[in-house]
Amino acid sequence: MVMRSFQAKLALLFVAVLVLLQTATLIAVHLAGQRTIRKSLGNELRVGSRLFDRVLDGRGRQLSETVRILSSDFAFREAVASNDEPTINSVLTNHRARINADVAMLISLDGTVVSDTLEHRITGKPFPLQELIREAAAGGEPSAFVSFDEHPYQLVVVPVVAPQPIAYVSMGFIIDERVLDDVRRLTGLDVSLWNASARNPRLISTVPPEYRDELYRRASALTPRTSDVDETVQVGGEDYQALLHPLRTEDRSRIYTLLQRSIAEAARPYHTLELQIFALSTAALIVALIAAILFARGVSRPLQQLAADAYRIEQGEYKGAIAVRQRDEIGRLATAFDRMRTGIAQREEQIVHQATHDTLTGLPNRTLFISRLASAIKWHPQAQSVAMIMMDLDRFKEINDTLGHHFGDLLLIEIGRRLSQTLPESEIVARLGGDEFAVMFFADDVDGAIAVAERISGALKLPFVLAGVSIDIDASMGIALYPRHAQDPENLLKRADVAMYDAKKNHAAFAVYETGRDEHSLRRLSILSDLRHSIERGELELHYQPKIDMRSERVVHAEALVRWRHPVHGFLRPDEFIPLAEQSGNIGVITKWVLGRAIRDCGEWNANGHDLAIAVNLSALDLFDSELPVYIGGLLAEANLAPSKLVLEITESAVMKDPAYALRILNDLKSRGVMLSIDDYGTGYSSLAHLRRLPVDELKIDKSFVLSLGNGAKDDLVIVRSTIELGHNIGLKVIAEGVEDARAWTIIRDLGCDMAQGYFVSKPLPAPEFAAWVESSRWGGAGGGA
Amino acid sequence: MRHRLLTLILFLALPAIANAATIVATVRDSRGIGVPDAVVYAVPERTASPSRKTAIMDQRNRMFVPHVLPIQTGTSVRFPNSDDIRHQVYSFSPAKPFQLPLYKGTPANPVVFDQAGVVTLGCNIHDRMSAYIVIVDTPHFEKSGADGRVTLNVPSGKYTVRVWYPSMRSEPAPIPMTAGASDRNEVVFTVR
C-alpha cells in the first residue's frame, strides 16, 4: 500500500511537472501565436491596402488607355468636332456603351461640360474636377474617385486630339464587386467599399450578402476617420482584423474601403501548430508517465521485496538471503538488511540456545529437556518406552565449598562430557540445574533403562582429574519410564526425581521409580509445612545415646538426638526433617529447643550425681548466629552446668561454609569453656592441618567408616587408624560412632580410640529411659547412682 | 512657354521706295528668346481679294512639311504623300473640316481654304503627325525663323498686325499701325 502510493506519488510528480511545463509552453505558444497573428494580420492588411491602391491605380491607367483609344476613334472625334449637340450626346452614349463605362462626359477645352450621360445632367456647368483636365492636358493619365448619383466612381479624363486637343472626354466606372473580387483574389482579403457621402450609402463587398448589413454597421462606426485604421470587428459571430482605408477622392466625397481577414482563418496554421504541440505534449506525457511508473516500479519493487523480506524476518524466518541485487542505494540497503538478517538469526539462535541450553556445560536445560521429552512421548516408537534418568551428585555442595566453585564448574562440565560420551545413542543429556543432570532415551523395558544407568555409573566411577586434583564422586540416579510411570513429561520428571531421592537415601547408585513412591515428596511437603508448629505442639523430643570412654568403659557423654513424633507420618528421624528445617530457616529454633532441653536434662543428671556431659549437634546455619554463645552461656548458667559439660558437634562442611565467621563463633564458645567436636569426620575434604586451626577438642569418625570395620574392611581400618593417630598427634580426642558390635569395639579400642558410641553400647533412648539405663547399665556412671 | 512673354517689336521705318513700307516684327517669349514658326500677318484696313495661289503641305517621313503653313484665304493646298505608306489627312477645325481618304501620291484635287482661321491637320493612322494651316485674310504674312523675326513688305497704309503661333492659347493683342512710305516699322510681340 505504501509502495503503491510511493509509485503513484512519483508518477504524479513527474506528470504534474510535465503538465505544468507543457501548459506553460502551450500558453506561451498560444500568446506568441496570437501576437504574431495580429501583427502579421496588420501587415497583411496594410500590404493588401497598398495592393488595393495599386489595383485601382492600374485599373485607372487601363481605363485611361481604353478611353484614350476610344477618344481617338475618328468618327468619335468627327462627331465631337461637329459641335452638334445631339450628335455629341449620341456619340457619347454610344461610345460609353462601347467600353462599358458607366458615365461619359465631354468637356470643352475651357472646362465646361458640353455633354454628359449622368442621371442628373451637368451640361453647361463647369466640370467639377478641373484638376483632372489640367493633368490630362499635361499629358497625364488622370484617374480619380468621385461619387456621382450616390455611386462611387473611378473617373478618367482623356483629351480628344485632332491631333491637337479639341476637347476632353471623361468616363466613369462604378467601382463594383468585380473590382473587389479582383483584389480579393490577389490578396486573400475580404474587401468592402462604400460611399459615406451618399444619402443611402450602399456597401459593396466580397463578404456574403447576409453579413453586409452587420459589417456596414460595424464599419461605419469607424468612419469619421480620414487615415487608415486597424481594428477588430465582429461579423457573423466571427472576429476579423480590419483595416479602414479612406480613398483619396477628388470631389471630397467620403469613400471608404475596408479590408478584413478572419482572425480564426489566419490562426488556422497556428491552431495546427498548437494541435501538433498538444499532441506531442500528450505523447511526451504518456511517455513520461510510463517512464515514471517504470522508474517508480524499479524503485518500489525492490522496496516491496525488502518489505516482504522484513516481514519474513519478523515472522522469524531467517533462511534465504534477501533477493535484491542492485548496485544503488537500495542495493546497499538490501545488503545492510541481509547482514541484519544474519545478525538477528545468529543472535536469536544464540538466545534460543541460551534459553534452551545450560551455559556452563552447553547441554540442553530443563526447558528444552521437558520439550524434548514431550515430543519423544508424542512420537516414541510403539514398542519402546521413553526412559529418563535423573541424576545428582552426592555432596557436590561440599566439593564446591572445599575446592571452590571453579572446580565445581569444571567437574560439572566434565560430568556432562562423560554423560554425552557414554550415551551416544541417547536422545538427550541435559543439565537441569545445580548438580542435577537428566538423560532421556528409548528403552525396551526397565532393564534396558537400568543398563544405561549402570553404564553411567561406570563412567562416573573413574576418578576425575581436574586442575591437578583427583576426585571420586558418587551420584544418585532415579529412573522413570513412560508410559509405565507417568503420562506426561512433568510427572515423569517428578517420578525420576523421587526415584533419585530413593537411591540417595539408600546410598544406592540408582533406583527405579516404584509406583506410589511419589507420595514421598508429598510427605516432604507436608513435613515442611508442619515443621513450624512442631515445637509449640510438643511433637519434638530428645533421645540420648551414650558415648563410652574406652579406657574406663564408663559412659561419659550423651549425644542428644532429636526425634519428631509427627501426627500423620509418625516417628521422623533427623535425616528426614533437619535438612528441611535448614531449607525453611527453622533450624535455629529447633537448635535452641534442643540445646535448652538437653542442657536442662544434663543439669538434672549431674544434680542427681551422674557426671555426664551432653553433646548437641549444631547445624551449619547455627554457626552464623552470633547470639548463640551468649544464649548457650545463659542456658548453662540456668541449668547450673559447667560449660565443659557441653559438647557441640559440628560437621566439617559447616565450618567450611564461612570459616572465618565460624571460627569467631567457635572461639567465642571455646573461650566460654564449651567443648567442641568435629562430627562425621572423613566425609568432608578438610585436611587435618586445617582442623588444627580450629579450637576443637575431639574428632568423631563418621560411622560409615566404623560400620564397615565389623566386616573387616581394610581400607576403612587404615582411615580410622590414621585418623585416630593424627587426631592424637594434634592433641584431640577421637571418638568413633556407629560401633555396632564387639569386634568393632575391640578394633577401635586397640587403635587407641578415646570414646565409642553405637548400638553395641546402646541405641538412642528417650530421656527417662536413658536416665534408667545409666543407673542400670554396666557402662553406668563412674561415680553415679551406685 | 506658357509663362514666357513674347515681345513683338515693330520697327516703323521710312520706306525706301515710295508707297512701300517694311514691318519688322519680333516674336519672343518672356525670356526674350525668339519664337519660331510664329505667323505674323498684317491685315489691311481694306479687305484684300482672295488668293488663287496654290500651296503645298507635303508628308515626308511621317511628318507634315512644313509644320506651319500660312496661306491667304482662298489658297488651294495640295497634300502630296512623299512617303511609301498611306496617310489619311483630316481636319476637324471649323475653318475647314475635311478629310482625304487613305492615299498615296498626290490626290487629284487640292483643298481650297476659303475661310480665315487655323486648321489643325492630323493623320488618322499616324496620331503623332500634326500640322497647322494658318489661313489669314491678307497677303501680308510671314512665318518666323529660328530667331523669331519676321519682315513684311507692305504697301503703306493702315494695318492691324497680328500673330499666331502653335502653342497659342489666346491671341496677343493685335497691334494697329499706319505704315508710311519707306517706313520701317518695328513690332514686338511678347507672348506667354
- Mapped onto helix, strand or coil, the DSSP state of residue A243 is strand
**C-alpha span between A761 and A126 (Å, rounded):** 191
Range A663-671 average pLDDT: 89
Residue A137: per-residue pLDDT: 87
A81 against A597, higher pLDDT:
A597
Sign of the four-CA dihedral A487, A493, A498, A503: positive
With an 8 Å Cβ cutoff, are B92 and A81 in contact? yes
Phi/psi of residue B189, nearest 5 degrees: -105, 115
Does residue B11 surpass a pLDDT of 50? no
With an 8 Å Cβ cutoff, are B92 and A161 in contact? no
Residue B4: per-residue pLDDT: 44
Tens-place pLDDT, residues A173-218: 888 888 889 888 888 888 888 888 888 888 888 888 888 888 888 8
A684 against A306, higher pLDDT:
A306
State the CATH class of domain B49-137: mainly beta
With an 8 Å Cβ cutoff, are A78 and B92 in contact? yes
* Residue B160: how many other CB atoms lie within 10 Å: 14
Q: Which of residues 67-96 of A touch B (CB under 8 A)?
A: 72, 74, 77-78, 80-81, 83
**C-alpha span between A390 and A497 (Å, rounded):** 6
Q: What is the band of A426 on the pLDDT scale with cuts at 50, 70, 90?
A: low
Element (H, E) at B122: strand B117-123
Q: What is the band of B14 on the pLDDT scale with cuts at 50, 70, 90?
A: very low
What residue ranges do the domains of chain B occupy?
20-45+142-192, 49-137
A166 vs B92, B123, B124: nearest CB: B92
A716 against B71, higher pLDDT:
B71
Q: What is the band of A686 on the pLDDT scale with cuts at 50, 70, 90?
A: low
The answer to whether the CB of A584 falls within 8 A of the CB of A578 is no
**Of residues A554, A565, A630, A556, the one with CA closest to residue A592:** A630
Range B70-89 average pLDDT: 92
**C-alpha span between B174 and B180 (Å, rounded):** 19
With an 8 Å Cβ cutoff, are B127 and A161 in contact? yes
* Chain B closest-CA separation from residue A138 CA (Å): 12
Average pLDDT, rounded, for chain B = 85
**Residue of chain A with shortest Cα separation from B125:** A74
Across the A:B interface, residue pairs with CB atoms under 8 Å apart total 30
Does residue A49 surpass a pLDDT of 90? no
CB of A163 within 8 Å of any CB in chain B? yes
B107 against A107, higher pLDDT:
A107
Does residue A547 surpass a pLDDT of 50? yes
Q: Which of residues 92-121 of B touch A (CB under 8 A)?
A: 92-94, 97, 120-121
**Residue of chain B with shortest Cα separation from A80:** B92
Q: What percent of chain A has pLDDT over 90?
A: 14
Q: What is the band of A425 on the pLDDT scale with cuts at 50, 70, 90?
A: low
pTM: 0.47
With an 8 Å Cβ cutoff, are B130 and A164 in contact? yes
With an 8 Å Cβ cutoff, are B90 and A74 in contact? yes
Tens-place pLDDT, residues B132-173: 999 999 999 999 988 999 999 888 888 999 999 988 888 888
Q: What is the band of A44 on the pLDDT scale with cuts at 50, 70, 90?
A: confident
CB of B90 within 8 Å of any CB in chain A? yes
DSSP secondary structure code for residue B33 in this structure = P
Contacts of A326 (CB under 8 A, 6+ apart): A302, A334
Q: What is the band of B12 on the pLDDT scale with cuts at 50, 70, 90?
A: very low
Residue A517: per-residue pLDDT: 62
Which of A56-65, A84-93, A566-575 has the lowest average pLDDT?
A566-575
Residues of A in contact with B124 (CB under 8 A): 74
- Mapped onto helix, strand or coil, the DSSP state of residue A655 is helix
DSSP secondary structure code for residue A741 in this structure = S
Tens-place pLDDT, residues A488-514: 888 888 888 888 888 887 778 888 888
Residues of A in contact with B93 (CB under 8 A): 81, 162
The fold of the B20-45+142-192 domain, in CATH, is Immunoglobulin-like (2.60.40)
Cα–Cα separations (whole angstroms), residue B109 to A385, A526, B112, B115: 176, 189, 9, 18
Tens-place pLDDT, residues A154-170: 889 999 888 888 899 99
Range A346-358 average pLDDT: 84
**Of residues B186, B180, B141, the one with CA closest to residue B19:** B180
With an 8 Å Cβ cutoff, are B90 and A162 in contact? yes
Residue A310, classified by CB atoms within 10 Å of its CB into exposed (0-12), middle (13-18) or buried (19+), is: middle
With an 8 Å Cβ cutoff, are A163 and B94 in contact? no
With an 8 Å Cβ cutoff, are B120 and A74 in contact? no
Tens-place pLDDT, residues A309-327: 888 888 878 777 777 677 7
With an 8 Å Cβ cutoff, are B92 and A164 in contact? no
Range A277-297 average pLDDT: 84
Look up cell 480564426; give the residue. A264
Range A726-732 average pLDDT: 88
Tens-place pLDDT, residues A470-485: 888 888 899 999 888 8
The interface predicted TM-score (ipTM) is: 0.74
- Is beta strand A675-681 parallel, antiparallel or unpaired with respect to A646-651? parallel
Tens-place pLDDT, residues A739-761: 988 888 999 999 999 999 999 99
Range A455-481 average pLDDT: 88
The answer to whether the CB of A658 falls within 8 A of the CB of A625 is no
The answer to whether the CB of A606 falls within 8 A of the CB of A612 is yes
**Half-sphere exposure (CA, 13 Å, Cβ side) for A630?**
3
B20-45+142-192 and B49-137 share one fold: yes
Residue B1: per-residue pLDDT: 42
Q: What is the band of A784 on the pLDDT scale with cuts at 50, 70, 90?
A: very low
Best residue in B59, B64, B92, B99 to probe A by mutation, most A CBs within 10 Å?
Answer: B92
Residue B10: per-residue pLDDT: 42
Average pLDDT, rounded, for chain A = 84
The answer to whether the CB of A557 falls within 8 A of the CB of A644 is no
Residues of A in contact with B129 (CB under 8 A): 163
* Chain A closest-CA separation from residue B67 CA (Å): 13
* Chain B closest-CA separation from residue A60 CA (Å): 22
A163 vs B94, B97, B130: nearest CB: B130
